[in-house]
Structures are given as structure tokens and as C-alpha cells.
Amino acid sequence: MPSPKPDLHAILDLDRTIHEPARLAILTVLAAAEEVEFLFLQRITGLSKGNLSSHTQKLETAGFLETLKAFRGRIPVTSFRITGEGRAALQAYHRQLRALLPKEGKP
Amino acid sequence: MPSPKPDLHAILDLDRTIHEPARLAILTVLAAAEEVEFLFLQRITGLSKGNLSSHTQKLETAGFLETLKAFRGRIPVTSFRITGEGRAALQAYHRQLRALLPKEGKP
DNA sequence: TGAAACTAGTTTGTAGCACAAACTAGTTTT
DNA sequence: AAAACTAGTTTGTGCTACAAACTAGTTTCA
């Protein structure tokens, strides 16, 4: 009987910053794309601007992404990059999820 | 290129009732044990009584568990059972998690 | 026997959070 | 020069997780 039930601590210790679906979606995109613009992120996630703005600020405060402000012509453009810390946290979160999932092919 | 990035909808459509770690922990125990007493649940999860009470009430309202009130001698004992609906929802949640995890063995 | 301590859980109060509407600041169009 | 648009932030609201305080009864012990 190696691992009969998923470890409850693995569940209760999940990183809440990443566990929020909106932020997990954001980090997932950033992890795949390296640098992503605000509007692109808004469109593929379907989040409202306000919601996206506050979630990216929260992820920035956590150190998981950095915000890059620039201009395209005269129009402001905000982009995001995942940080090393953010990538590490996302991978750790993935490991936590795997740990709590029952083995594949269980009824 | 079959499934290059995890589906963002799979992330944003996660069942919030189960996504909350405390409730996921509760359902995970119930799924493994068939019938579980309040105090046992409290001890292995480490949740406070108040917190456990409100989460189990929420899960009951969602139809995911049933509450059984009884007496042991003259002492009241509350137990819980996962419902068929609850088991199905937990399995669906597990499938959703698997869908959003990158393939095993990715950097 | 009656007061104190314990059992088993619920209700209440609070701080924090997700979310969208309203707003800011500037640009382009008409 | 007014109207409409772009890009994003701030504000307000309603919900939610959490523990402290409470309810209702039981057992211990002085």
C-alpha cells in the first residue's frame, strides 16, 4: 500500500496565488509565450480588463511576472513576462496537482 | 501539434465548489472512506470546527454529500457520506486537472 | 448537587478576494 | 472640436473563507 490516499497536506498547502483559475490561466499563457501583451491576454482568457489588471498586479506583487510598459507609435502597450520565480512556482504547483490526483486509470 | 498548450477553458471552467482546497480535501476523504465522522474529518484535515461545518454545509447544498445525524450513547455524532453526484463531480474535477497539466516529463 | 470542564457542532463577525462598472488619460476619426 | 476609440486602472459591491464566540447538552469532581 504505497500511496493509498492523496496527501491532504498537498491539497491544503496549494499555492493560493496560483490556484486561482484566472491567475493560473495567465501564468500558463506566459509560461508558453515568453512575452505577452495585455490585450492578447485579455482576448484569449476572456477576462475583463479590470479583472485582468488586478490579477496581473497580484502576480507581479508575488514576483511571478514582470510588467513592461512601452509605446507602439503613440499608443501605450503593456506586456508581461513570467519571471524565473514564476516559472518555478508554476512547476511546483503542477507537481502539487500531480501529487493529489489518483493514479491514472482508477475507477 | 496536437495539444500544444493546456486549454484555458479547462482552467477557467474548473468547478469552484470543488476547487476550494478545504472542500477538495473533504471530498477526497469521503471518496475514500464511504462514511466519515465530523471529528475524524476535522482531525485529519486540520480545519477548525466552524470552517469544517460551513464547508460541509456548502457541499451538502451542492448535493455532493449527505449529512447523517445520530447519537453514540447520548452524545451527538455527525457523519458524512459522499453522494453519487459528489463522486461524479470529483472525478470530473480530476479529469479537468489532468487536462490542464502539461504532459509528464516536460521541463 | 451544583459548578466546572468537556463534547459536538452552529452561528456570527470580519477581513480579504474576485469581479465588472465606472473612470482616467490620451489618440484617432469625422 | 466633438465624438468615438484605445489601453488600462481605480472603485465599489457582493461573496467567501476563516476563526471566535456561542448553543446545547453531558460528564467529572469537590
Does A1 map to a domain? no
Distance A68 CA to D14 C1' (A): 33
From A8's Cα to the closest Cα of chain B, the distance in A is 6
- DSSP secondary structure letters along A19-74: HSHHHHHHHHHHHHHSSEEHHHHHHHH---HHHHHHHHHHHHHTTSEEEEEEEETT
Give yes or no for B99 touching A (CB within 8 A). no
From B69's Cα to the closest Cα of chain A, the distance in A is 25
Reading the block at residue A39, the C-alpha cell is 490585450
pTM for this predicted structure? 0.90
Does A105 map to a domain? no
Does B62 map to a domain? yes
User: What nucleotides of chain D have any atom within 7 angstroms of a protein Cβ?
Assistant: 6-11, 16-21, 25-27
The CATH number for A19's domain is: 1.10.10.10
Does A107 map to a domain? no
Indicate the helix (H) or strand (E) that contains B78: strand B75-82
Does A106 map to a domain? no
What pLDDT, on the 0 to 100 scale, is given for residue B105? Answer: 58
**Per-residue pLDDT reduced to its tens digit, B65-103:** 999 999 998 899 999 999 999 999 999 999 999 999 987
* Residue A38, domain extent: 8-100
Does B106 map to a domain? no
User: How many domains are contained in chain B?
Assistant: 1
Does B1 map to a domain? no
Scan for cell 493546456, then name that residue.
B6
State the first-to-last Cα distance of chain B, in angstroms, to the nearest integer: 18
Split at pLDDT 50, 70, 90, the class of A1 is very low
Distance B1 CA to C15 C1' (A): 46
Q: Which of B12, B46, B97 sits opposite A46 (nearest CB)?
A: B12
Mean of pLDDT over chain A: 89
Phi, psi for residue B88 in degrees, rounded to 5 = -65, -40
Does B88 map to a domain? yes
In this predicted structure, the answer to whether residue B35 has a pLDDT above a threshold of 70 is yes
Crossing angle of helices B21-33 and B38-45, in 10° steps, is 130
